[in-house]
Amino acid sequence: MIKPHGSDQLNPLFVYDSAKRHTLLEEAETLPSLLLNSAAAANAVMLGGGYFNPLTGYMDLADSLSVAEKMHTQSGLFFPVPIVNMTSDPSVQAGDRIALRDPNVEGQPVLAVMDVEAVEPVSEEQIDFMAEKVFRTLDPKHPGVATFRGLGNTLLSGPIEVLNFSYFQTDFPDTFRTAVEIRNEIAEHGWQKVVAFQTRNPMHRAHEELCRMAMEQLGADGILIHMLLGKLKPGDIPAEVRDAAIRKMVEVYFPPNTVMVTGYGFDMLYAGPREAVLHAVFRQNSGCTHLIVGRDHAGVGDYYGGFDAQAIFDEEVPAGALELEIFKADHTAYSKKLNKVVMMRDVPDHTKEDFVLLSGTAVREMLGKGIAPPPEFSRPEVAKILSDYYQALDQ
């Protein structure tokens, strides 16, 4: 199986030894507490699951600035975005051992224990420098920029020991998986070549066929459909609705034992190209050999060019930085001429009128009125789940 990023073995930061975990939970109740923001909590969950291997905790300021600027830490480890714990709490001191508390679960339980190696002030200029490098904009309307600039101006760095997976394990028991668990399941299947498909949305016909095309062209053994389960911007479809729609599509339209439907506990960054590279890092850590990167991957609005998320792998990711390979996908649509979903670049003889093209807004309006999108665009079983959701919103 493909090696994890940056090490020979995956090193998740979750404490799997139950006796040790119980002891740490008891100790945590005696420690000073820090209530995390949602971004830092999501980073802890990803560190716990092995997704951010080989990191041992939150980055310090020098590494955060270096990663933002050059996509590598000061020691030379390739990493595409800073993994930080930023706060406005002035009480934490370097050398403290603290309990990190979960902002997203009632009662704010302990999520992790942290040994604070450094407490560093971060200037507005440094925050903007990192935001501009990662998001390619400082527009406050960009949801990722707005979140990042509001995290706080004190950066806490040091190793952590993760004690639970926040709400993801309880709210999505059939879907949430760690990188450890995905690797184990890939091994159980005996798969060697595995293609990952990233999504924060339900999957329509074009997405379904894109997975099928990648699997066939690469000769892959299986597909990992890996959905984001964390915080999204207003208007995005909730994880539980997306989960139900994707599972129904796989159940009806894919052969048995060719697809794993899973999810990960992270808040969406909307960082376009940089987030695409982060997706590649943690898919390699999950045991995948390939990642599908399509049009406007991880983007939002008009902040990124349609294929910037593909170009970054050719132009900015150093050769050999990742073992995982990218499957570059063009815009996909249903061809009326060929009666199937195609990549547009593969049919140069087509005109716009030869495709079934629907905007997301048009589809949402149709679903909200109880009108099923054409079967060329969305499977009827999927459209029914989404239509029920949108109609319930209007009641």
Residues present in the chain in total: 395
Please name which of 225, 229, 198, 174 lies closest in space to residue 42, comparing C-alpha atoms. Answer: 229
Pairing of strands 194-199, 290-293: parallel
d(CA 232, CA 230): 7
Q: In terms of DSSP H, where are the helices of the chain? A: 18-28, 38-48, 61-70, 124-135, 143-149, 168-171, 179-189, 205-218, 239-253, 273-285, 308-315, 360-368, 380-393
Phi-psi region of 371 (alpha: psi -120 to 50; beta: other; left: phi over 0): beta
Q: Which of 201, 212, 247, 364 is catalytic?
A: 201
Phi, psi of 197 (to 5 degrees): -120, 120
Residue 70 amino acid letter: K
- The DSSP string of 297-338 is TT--TTSS-TTHHHHHHHHTSPTTS-SSEEEE---EEEETTT
**Whether the Cβ atoms of residue 76 and residue 144 lie closer than 8 Å to each other:** no
Give CA–CA dist 138/298, Å, rounded: 17
The answer to whether the CB of 346 falls within 8 A of the CB of 335 is: no
Identified catalytic residue from 11, 21, 153, 200: 200
| 135 Cβ contact list (under 8 Å, min separation 6) | 142, 144, 145, 148, 269, 270, 271, 272, 274, 303
Task: State the CB neighbour count (10 A cutoff) for residue 341.
Answer: 22
Contact 289, 2 (CB under 8 A): yes
Nearest to 225 by CA among 272, 283, 296: 283
Please confirm, yes or no, whether 201 is among the known catalytic residues.
yes
- Cα–Cα dist 159/59, whole Å: 9
Beta-bridge partner residues of 114 = 98, 160
Residues annotated as catalytic (active site), given as ranges? 200-201
